[in-house]
Amino acid sequence: MVVNAAAAQKGQTVCVVGGGVMGVCTAHALVKAGFKVTLVEPGGIGDQCSLANACSLRTSSYVPLASPGAVKRLLWALLTGDQIYQFRWLNLVDPLFASWGLRFLGAAFTEEVRQRGTYFLRTYSPLCIERIHEVAVQEGFGDDYEREAGGMLNVYTGTAASFKGAAASADASRNDWGKQCFPLDAKQTVALEPSLAAVEGKIAGGVDAREDEHGDCGKYAKLLWRSCEKQGAQLIVQKAKKLEVRTSSAGTSIDHIVLEDGAKVHADHFVLSAGAKSAQLAAQAGVYLPIYPVKGYSLTVPVVEGGPVRSLLTFEPMQMYITTLGKNRVRFASIAEFAGQDMSVSQSCVDEIKVRVKEMWPNVPFDWTKADILVGARPMTPDDMPIISGTKHQNLFINSGQGSFGWRLSYLSADILVAAMTKVPCSVPESVCNSFNLSRFQSMRATG
Ligand SMILES: Cc1cc2nc3c(=O)[nH]c(=O)nc-3n(C[C@H](O)[C@H](O)[C@H](O)COP(=O)(O)OP(=O)(O)OC[C@H]3O[C@@H](n4cnc5c(N)ncnc54)[C@H](O)[C@@H]3O)c2cc1C
């Protein structure tokens, strides 16, 4: 259903389910569009995946996970026991995982699907990051989400030959797309990150990506929610349990949401932004969302002498992010664990991160006893692109499935959602917005 923009100004009500960065940005964009917003969130605002992540806001990486390279890496991990990818097979005996997995493979090997995702990320990542900061400035909290626009250094371990591809793609990013990405040799890499001097022999090269930035995503969600509340949005600290569908001659719509304590929340419109749980909720209303949880971990410890100098680093191919947040905290984030809905902390994943940190900083005494260990479920779609869309129910919308790019895509996704609801165009062309429609997965059945 198209929501009349003028009607929105008259204060139609919207219930947003999920208070991660996606739900909060959605709530904020809706408030700004004139809606009365209620947010349903059982825990702390921004305390799930949005808190656990690596906090990077990159314009220099723009390839969705669903790619032949990722499939190769997954297979390699299975064959060699590489612990970056971990599988809890018992939890994966599940038709949802099977159908998601098959579609992931389909997306990875379909050139058109990959090109679409790459095009979007390459073209719109700068705007994504600009919107996040612009809104923070408008709401008066500026850089308070530990924002730092100091670029990113990607460090590649392995042989010089293995680095050739990364150097070539940095050159192509710069020459073809104007990205400020510069390949470096091992010496130049260590000159930019002197704390790695002890392991220079392991380094094949680096890429200096000067436009990347970072900020604390969980903190951003909390600060932005404060602004929403000041502008009249309301919070219900409860879990949404059920969506009740109503049928009329005009079609079907959501009548209300039932909360865990049995109370009902009525609204004119409903938006699901419940991260990796969005699929479970939508399934109750017969809407199939191919969103699967892919767990990741972060360990945050106090900054110590000898540790990273630059505030944003990655290590490849070990796929680890190192982010310094403010002056006192350094975060190590990595791992893709396929464990269904099990959100428990797996010690082997935690240990794997520590092992990799030790490999790169063998002599630095990071204090793991003080580590804040967080786990988050990336809400992944098969093509690693979000679902920002209406549904078969007239007043049910989805803004979820941002996967490994959720912090980066957060506010622009909210802009696109509001445009989809109100039909008032946003800064992204309609044809591009339409590529996030749920209908791209139309062949999929409702389950659950
Ligand atoms: C290790 C790691 C590193 C990452 N690094 C980056 C990065 O550097 N850059 C980047 O852009 N992205 C990154 N991501 C991805 C990013 O963190 C996610 O895409 C993003 O946080 C998803 O936000 P969300 O709001 O959809 O989900 P969440 O933050 O998980 O929020 C969902 C919310 O919904 C609530 N909820 C669930 N069920 C219900 C219910 N029934 N009723 C009401 N509420 C409910 C939950 O309590 C939760 O608060 C990373 C992820 C991980 C795990």
Q: Please give the Cα distance from 289 to 398 (Å, whole number).
A: 9
Give distance in angstroms: CA of 377 to centre of ligand 1: 6
Pairing of strands 36-40, 56-57: unpaired
Where in the chain are the domains? Answer: 5-50+218-289+383-441, 63-109+148-211+292-380
Q: Which fold has domain 63-109+148-211+292-380?
A: D-Amino Acid Oxidase; Chain A, domain 2 (3.30.9)
pLDDT value at position 11?
82
Residue 273, number of CB atoms within 10 A of its CB: 30
The set of residues, in sequence order, having a beta carbon less than 8 Å from that of 213 and lying 6+ positions away, is 56, 57, 129, 147, 148, 149, 150, 151, 312
pLDDT value at position 6?
57
Token pair 């580590």 is found at 371
Closest-CA residue, ligand 1 atom 35, reads 18
Closest-CA residue, ligand 1 atom 26, reads 275
pLDDT value at position 204?
97
pLDDT value at position 8?
59
Mutate to test the pocket of ligand 1, among 17, 41, 53, 224 (most ligand atoms within 8 A of CB): 53
pTM recorded for the entire structure: 0.96
Is ligand 1 within 6 A of the CB of residue 222?
no
pLDDT value at position 371?
98
pLDDT tens, residue order, the chain (448 aa) = 556 555 555 689 999 999 999 999 999 999 999 999 999 999 999 999 999 999 999 999 998 989 898 898 888 888 887 888 888 887 788 888 898 999 999 999 999 999 999 999 999 999 999 999 999 999 999 999 999 999 999 999 988 888 999 999 999 999 999 999 999 999 999 999 999 999 999 999 999 999 999 999 999 999 999 999 999 999 999 999 999 999 999 999 999 999 999 999 999 999 999 999 999 999 999 999 999 999 999 999 999 999 999 999 999 988 999 999 999 999 999 999 999 999 999 999 999 999 999 999 999 999 999 999 999 999 999 999 999 999 999 999 999 999 999 999 999 999 999 999 999 999 999 999 999 999 998 754 444 3
Give distance in angstroms: CA of 109 to centre of ligand 1: 26
pLDDT value at position 5?
59
5-50+218-289+383-441 is classed in which CATH architecture? 3-Layer(bba) Sandwich (3.50)
Mutate to test the pocket of ligand 1, among 58, 241, 404, 436 (most ligand atoms within 8 A of CB): 404
Q: Please give the Cα distance from 382 to 403 (Å, whole number).
A: 10
pLDDT value at position 264?
98
Task: Give me the amino acid identity at 3.
Answer: V
Is ligand 1 within 6 A of the CB of residue 389?
no
